[in-house]
Amino acid sequence: MTRVATIGECMIELRHTDAETLKLGFGGDTLNTAVYLARLGHAGSVQVDYVTALGDDAYSEAMLASWRAEGVGTDLVARLPGRLPGLYIIRTDKRGERSFTYFRSAAAARDMLRDDRDARLAERLSGYACVYFSGVTLSILDDEQRRKLMDVLDRLRGSRTRIAFDSNYRPVGWPSAETARDWMTQAWRRCDIAMPTLDDEQRLFGDADVEACITRLRRLGLGEIVLKVGGEGSLVLTHDVAEPTRVPPVKVTKVVDTTAAGDSFNAGYLYGRLTGQGPVASAGLGSRLAAIKIQHPGAIIAREVMAGLEKI
């Protein structure tokens, strides 16, 4: 069995079903990826564990129960008495594009690496095949905990654990763009599998185009890059090829909700790579899963909907 850990934050999700009605759910970028990855690996080929911190409230308990039901391991979740999860509200427009409102300043996940939990985490993750995190993971931590996370990644890479990272830049979570650029760059330098989105990279680093983005990332020493370019699909680049390979998107008739499109793509890509598929085939799997996701509302779609994945 291949073991994978994803690090980040799960929040209470409230999604507008109309102007006045909200539907309760749970979501967060790395948690979404963890769930989709666990579903793909349900036969036992891949075991996924989630790393975060929660409180001791009813919503935290409900989150844990839902993750376990999905096959996501919860042994690495810290419990902080008296604390609560964060919360976000989703609105979607007529094109399926979404906007978020966050309430997370006191969320338990913001302290996941305090009180020597980083040292214990590095020890417990030793031997994992892959550890995945995102720019959102970095954004919720303070500088002290970000440094601790970088130390954990360095230790894991020394033991041959592969590090996967998606910058997933959300300005609202950062004190400044300069701070975000610094920590994102530090993360990229420790990354084995890079899964950026062009729009995010351009917004943060000012890359003029695809070529400029890829050039900058390659200069950081990245050996495997899958660059998501929205409606144009993705570009796959490895250290042993000069030019990227374009993987076209799967066309869908109607986009309902683009929430977690990138998260589901990342799950498909990671599953492919962890089960021995090449980068191009893995990107194709990610595209198929993302195409299913965006035709349904919410961050995490019903399990049975994914049954059509192999038909695409």
Flag whether pLDDT at 263 surpasses 70. Answer: yes
Q: What is the mean pLDDT of residues 237-260?
A: 90
- The rounded percent of the chain whose pLDDT value lies above 90 is 81
Flag whether pLDDT at 232 surpasses 70. Answer: yes
- pLDDT digit string, tens, across residues 46-64: 999 999 999 999 999 999 9
Residue of 29, 118, 200, 263 marked catalytic: 263
> Which pLDDT score, from 0 to 100, does residue 193 have?
98
- The rounded percent of the chain whose pLDDT value lies above 70 is 98
Is 57 an active-site residue?
A: no
> Which pLDDT score, from 0 to 100, does residue 242 have?
80
Of 231, 249, 232, residue with least CA distance to 286: 249
Confidence of residue 16 (pLDDT cuts 50, 70, 90): confident
| Contact partners, residue 38, CB within 8 Å, separation at least 6 | 46, 47, 48, 70, 71, 72
Angle CA 266–271–273, to nearest 5: 95
How many CA atoms are closer than 13 Å to the CA of 164, on its beta-carbon side? Answer: 24
Q: Look up residue 243 and give its DSSP letter.
A: S
- pLDDT digit string, tens, across residues 153-211: 999 999 999 999 999 999 989 999 999 999 999 999 999 999 999 999 999 999 999 99
- Quote the CA–CA distance of 31 and 192 in Å, as a whole number: 20
- Report whether 12 contacts 24 (CB < 8 A): yes
Tokens, residue 163 = 């590090």
E-strand spans in the chain?
A: 2-7, 11-16, 22-27, 46-54, 72-73, 77-79, 87-92, 98-103, 130-134, 162-166, 193-194, 224-228, 234-238, 245-247
Of 226, 242, 211, 230, residue with least CA distance to 283: 226
Q: How many CB atoms neighbour CB 168 within 10 A?
A: 24
Indicate the SS3 state at residue 91. Answer: strand
Flag whether pLDDT at 109 surpasses 90. Answer: yes
Flag whether pLDDT at 26 surpasses 70. Answer: yes
Flag whether pLDDT at 79 surpasses 90. Answer: yes
Q: Report the C-alpha dihedral over residues 130, 136, 139, 142, rounded to 10 degrees.
A: -40
| All domains in the chain, ordered by first residue | 2-116+124-311 (3.40.1190.20)
> Which pLDDT score, from 0 to 100, does residue 312 have?
56
- Report whether 69 contacts 42 (CB < 8 A): no
Of 208, 270, 193, 199, residue with least CA distance to 238: 193
Indicate the SS3 state at residue 92. Answer: strand
Q: What is the mean pLDDT of residues 40-45?
A: 86
Q: How many CB atoms neighbour CB 27 within 10 A?
A: 21
Q: β-strand 2-7 against 130-134: which pairing, if any?
A: parallel
